[in-house]
A and B are shown apart, each in its own frame.
Chain A
Amino acid sequence: MNELLWTYVGWPLLKILVILLALVLLAAYLSWFERKLLAYMQIRLGPNRVGPKGWLQPIADALKLFVKEDLTPGFAEKFVFLLGPVLIIVPALVVFSVIPFGPSPHLFITDVNIGVLFILAVSSIGVYGIILGGWASNNKFSLMGGLRSAAQMISYEVPMGFSVVTVLILAKSLSLVRIVEAQKQAGLWFVFPGFVAFLVYFICGVAETNRNPFDLPEAESELVAGYHTEYSGMKFAFYFLAEYANMVVVSSLATVMFFGGWLRPFPNVSALAFLDVIPPLVWFLLKVAFFLFLYIWFRGTFPRYRFDQLMGIGWKVLLPVSLVNLLVVAYFVSLPGGQV
């Protein structure tokens, strides 16, 4: 009985707690990482006052957000205004339940056989948080930010879905653990057969998370702060946290689906076996960190697209490309001996 309780309640709860805490910390430190990295790209120092090299800056920021006055604008739709941050933070955190950080069952919360579908489904709920928050704020800039975000996320979900399907064809499974294992069996990361799909996926991922150069919903110079203009204190922190958590999700998914998850490069080449000294979890985190670095690099480099151009890229470029790519990959897989 005791053992059952441990297996079905205690252990999962512990894992959830650890991952949740790690994730929140990661998101907080991601902001520190971003500020620091961006600063070095921009010939300045970045946060360096709180703690050594500014290491405690995220803690200080979190404390500040906790104790800040929580304002609700006078004419806001109170309940929806409150619902917005909840709707965005919950899906952002829930999707981590299916992301495998390593091979052992201790390193993921659960492995559902529809993992990819689950992630796509749950993460789309996040858009409601943005559009409802933008609408409930009763601010024209927020409303425009919310509308932009809704249009953007919905139209980029389509090519993203198609590029994910490419991976599903290659792996023949929706389970994220099985996808990684398929890459191990095939002996190569899916980024090689599915390079176009990866590009489409990552561009869509940047757009889905509202990051530069697709950060229109919160374009500071146009919409002040977009959908979260009126939010302050913890509610703002939720939006902030969700954005960074979503970045981690997109990077983790890219790692799992295209870069072999926790696998080392060329998992079948035994000459590279010395690389196994690095534990799988570290491999995973390294790859995720690389994608997060890309995010920040983009932010340091690119101007921002305009709304119509953004939609144009989504519908006129990415969608056809991902469709054609899907057909080509499907064709090669269906050839005799074409199994990867």
Chain B
Amino acid sequence: MSEENKVQQPAPPKMPWEEKPVPPQPQDAGEHPLVRELEAAVPGAVVEALEFAGQVSVVVALDGLMAVLSALKGMGYRFLVDLTAVDWKDRPEGRFDVVYWLHRHGDSARLRVKVRVADGVEVPSAVELWPTANWMEREVFDMFGIYFANHPNLERILTWEGFSGHPLRKDFPIEGIDTGAAVYPDIYPPGGGPVKPKGGA
């Protein structure tokens, strides 16, 4: 591919979009001003800090989460952009990452806060700090089965009450599960699994 390119455009210097893209590298962000600021406010809170593609993420311990979040809110992060989770299935440090993505309007700084939790461990709710966390936490609960302590109304939000399973977990089959609503059990096998074509395999 690159050889062909050379034949077509021989001499002039290559423009950035003609070159092979250089992917960003993760860097340690322990010295990043945002992390330092947080470290100064809550000493010892940051377990790990990484910078990737210009975005800073810090990992904090579950015990110190509320302290970190309220300190961050005090530091001007008034806007909780996003709250979500990632399922790492068999990771020893804890199965899930709960990810907070915070924004500060003053200098447009954005900081990603991650906390590692094991399956079945409750995470303190951030609804007190940012009301917008309400539905986001409900969605995380619905999709991952992560419980949030002190949440005012921790119900399923996108699936229905009584749905069993948490769809975004890695062990949830992508074809779905039998929800009791399957009308054609010969095509959609009970208990989930690949769809059987009609007339047998």
Answer whether A and B touch in the complex at a CB cut-off of 8 Å: no
Which residues of B approach A to under 8 Å, CB–CB? none
Q: Which positions in A face B, CB cutoff 8 Å?
A: none
